[in-house]
Amino acid sequence: MGTRINTALSLTALVVAVGGATPVGQAAWNAVVPRNSVGTAELKRNAVTAARLAPNAVRTAHILNGTLLLEDFKADQIPKGPKGDDGLPGVSGLQVVTATAFIAAGTQEGVHVSCPAGKKALGGGFAGLSGMLKVVASSPDSDLMGWLLIVKNDGTFANNVGVSVICAKVA
């Protein structure tokens, strides 16, 4: 009985030694477990975490350009670039000025709404046109200090029209 155990152990040791150390053994191992056999398809989502990676397992060559985000880095790990130029001055003090005008029947009249001192007209418009009022012109005045609306009343009754201008300080 002892001889059989010794023989079995010897044969097992021989198979293990020869199987892993010879080209034939390597070929047999690769046939059962092919190289790179565990890939993306075999991994579950979030199965590989930082704790499971060996030190230096992921190197620069493994990172695709443009895939890292600012939050992937520690504070002060990314140097700040030079300060950019100051932006252009913008607008301030936005204000809408509105006026209502009475347009007599059978007349054409201009209605002008002015911006407060120091402000320019950015846009404008009108409201309250009845079917008898026709807009001839609606535009900023020549110096951008207000809005001009020219309206013609083809009706037999007087009508009111509202004119608005959007004003702001422009640097």
Distance of alpha carbon 74 from alpha carbon 15, whole angstroms: 52
DSSP line for 119-142: -EEEEEEEE---TTEEEEEEEE-T
Q: Which residues of 79-104 are buried (b: 16+ CB within 10 A; e: fewer)?
A: eeeeeeeeeeeeeeeeeebebebebe
**What one-character DSSP code corresponds to residue 32?**
H
- Tell me: the pLDDT tens digits for 30-78? 666 666 666 666 777 877 787 888 888 878 888 888 888 888 888 888 8
Distance of alpha carbon 40 from alpha carbon 75, whole angstroms: 32
- Rounded to a whole number, what is the largest CA-CA distance in the chain? 130
DSSP line for 53-81: SPTT-S-GGGSPTT---GGGS-TT-S---
Q: Are 136 and 129 in contact (CB under 8 A)?
A: no
- Tell me: the pLDDT tens digits for 117-162? 999 999 999 987 777 889 999 999 999 999 999 999 998 988 999 9
pTM (global) more than 0.85: no
**What one-character DSSP code corresponds to residue 44?**
P
